[in-house]
Each structure stands twice: as C-alpha cells, then as structure tokens.
Amino acid sequence: MRVGVIGLGIMGAPMARNLLRAGHEVVVRGRSRGRIEPLIALGAREAASPAAVARAVEVVVTSLPDGPDVEQVVAGREGVLAGASAGLLVIDTSTIAPDVARALAERAAASGVDFLDAPVSGGQQGAIDGTLSIMVGGAADAVNRARPVFDAIGRKVTHMGGPGQGQMTKLVNQVVGVTTLAAVAEGLLLAARAGLDPTAVIEAVGSGAAASWQLSNLGPRMQKGDFAPGFMVRLQQKDLRLALAAASSLDVPLPATAVVHQLLAMVEARGGGSLGTQALITALSPAPRP
C-alpha cells in the first residue's frame, strides 16, 4: 500500500521503518531532519505538508503528542483533509481525548474519509520490534482495510467499537500501567533497603502473581538509575490528565491514578519531564543501586 506517516518521534519513526520493511511505499512528514533522512535512505519519500502526504497515499498514519496536534495535522488549513480524496483512510496512533477522536471521525466522514483512532501500547521497543498492541475505534470495514498497516507495526489488534473507543481503551491501559509502575517502584525500594539482591528479586517476583511488563522491563532500569525515555514522563502526564478527566465525566473514582499523577508531577517539577516514566521512583527516593 501507499502509506503516509506524519510524526516521526520515538514511535512514528520506527513504525515508518517497519512499514518500509513490510514492502509498503512510504511518504513521510516530520520536523526533524535527523528523523527524516534515515527513512529517505531506506526508500521513503518526503512530502511538504500533511495535505501533500494525503494526496500521495491511500492511508495516512499519524503519531503525534496531543489532541491539538492531531486536530491541526488532520483538519488544519494544510492538513490531511485538505488534500484528501474520498476513500482515504486515516489511522491516528496518538493518545488523545476520546471526544476529540469522535469529532475528527465526524469531520473526516463529511469528506468521505475513514478515520480510525488506534492508539498503541508497547513503548519505543515495541515500535522498533513491530510488536505494538493496537486498540482501535471506528468502522469495522475501515479496520479491515487497515490490516496490512497494523500487521507491519503491531502484534495484537483489538477492535474496541465505534469512534473514540480505541482512545478510551488506551486510557484504561494507562491507568493500569502507571499504577503497576508505582507498585514496582515501591517494591524495589523496599527490596533495596532490605539488602536483597535486585536481580534475584525481579526473577523471583516476576515468576509469580506479581509479574508485569513494568517489573520485567522497567524494574531493572530503575535499579540501575537508567532513566532514558522509552515513554516520557510529560507524555504520560498528558495521558493521565485525559484519563482523570474521562473518569470524572463518568463519575468513576481513580484514587491510585491521582496519586501517581502527583508523583510524576514531582518528577516534572525537578526537571524530569523528558525522562522515561521509570523515573517515577525518584519521587519516592533516590533510585536504588545494585
């Protein structure tokens, strides 16, 4: 397929690489020459605007920081819809508010364009490996059309329902993920203070009922004080604001999520917004060392 990728950050650039490896023709649009040029070397073409991307492809994939960015890229003056022909498929892999996703789906439909909200989970490594979990909201026939793209970037695709339901599922994912991350941080601090061998702790706990992706993937990085971002604190905070707002509108209490939101706010206040989310441990105590 001819696929456009707009947004070439930690997630978008590896997704574009995997689309190229799968044999798709890829047209890219991004802000960083350092992200664009390696993709061109692999065979991608560059477009001058989101509208130009839309004119050149059958499918547009967006991977952007927040809702206003997606609105601008999709529906702005030189946005995707400005260059779209009827039948274009837009797949937004960003994490944005469900209401924004629904509004964009309506605007796209008015132009004869199918819009899928398809946020992803799995972090930078999942994007690199092409093993992302993809949660999709939108029409079933559009999801079927998107399968070749999903197969190139992800391992698990779940159609969650109509527009916005992919985003709502991603917010559930973030709630479960960050509260688990906080539990991992607390457990590893307890282990460190008790003089336990950190590698043995992760092996022992990770083989039982407390096993989690956060423990096995981010636990060792917490112990080493490695806070390089696979997913940045500031982006996690944006997701938690969306989750807390959605919960408030549905009268659902999320006390543990609210506490983690405040812990990450402490990390941000210390200048750690661009660190990986495993830096949460620094809000509790200096990172434990082996």
The pLDDT of residue 287 is 52
Is the same domain home to 85 and 188? no
Residue 275 domain-assigned (yes or no): yes
Structure tokens at 251: 């009268």
DSSP designation for 282:
G
CATH code of residue 67? 3.40.50.720
Vertex 246 angle, CA 244 and 250, to 5°: 110
Residue 176 domain-assigned (yes or no): yes
The pLDDT of residue 198 is 87
The pLDDT of residue 289 is 46
- How would you write the pLDDT of the chain (290 residues) with one tens digit per residue? 999 999 999 999 999 999 999 999 999 999 989 999 999 999 999 999 999 999 999 999 999 999 999 999 999 999 999 999 999 999 999 999 999 999 999 999 999 999 999 999 999 999 999 999 999 999 999 999 999 999 999 999 999 999 999 999 999 999 999 999 999 999 999 999 999 998 999 999 999 999 999 999 999 999 999 999 989 999 999 999 999 999 999 999 999 999 999 999 999 999 999 999 999 999 998 655 44
Is the same domain home to 14 and 82? yes
3-state secondary structure of 42: coil
Please give the full DSSP string across 243-267, using - where no structure is assigned.
HHHHHHHTT---HHHHHHHHHHHHH
Is the same domain home to 108 and 206? no
The pLDDT of residue 114 is 98
CATH code of residue 199? 1.10.1040.10
Interhelix angle for 233-249 vs 165-193, to 10°?
120
Rounded Cα distance between 120 and 103, Å, is 20
What Cα–Cα distance (Å) separates residue 192 from each residue in 41, 195, 197, 208? 46, 5, 8, 19
Q: Assess whether 224 carries a catalytic annotation.
A: no
pTM of the model: 0.93
What Cα–Cα distance (Å) separates residue 164 from each residue in 11, 20, 67, 83, 257? 21, 28, 12, 24, 21
The pLDDT of residue 285 is 84
Closest Cα partner for 63 from 15, 130, 133, 123?
Answer: 15
Rounded Cα distance between 24 and 225, Å, is 39
Is the same domain home to 185 and 125? no
Residue finishing a domain among 108, 128, 161: 161
Phi and psi of 289, rounded to 5°? -115, 150
Is the same domain home to 93 and 183? no
Range of the domain at 155: 2-161
DSSP designation for 287:
P
Distance in angstroms between the alpha carbons of the first and the last residue of the chain: 49
Residue 34 domain-assigned (yes or no): yes
Structure tokens at 84: 């779209």
Query: Which listed residue (156, 170, 224, 238) is catalytic?
Result: 170
Closest Cα partner for 228 from 238, 237, 239, 217?
Answer: 217
Is the same domain home to 145 and 220? no
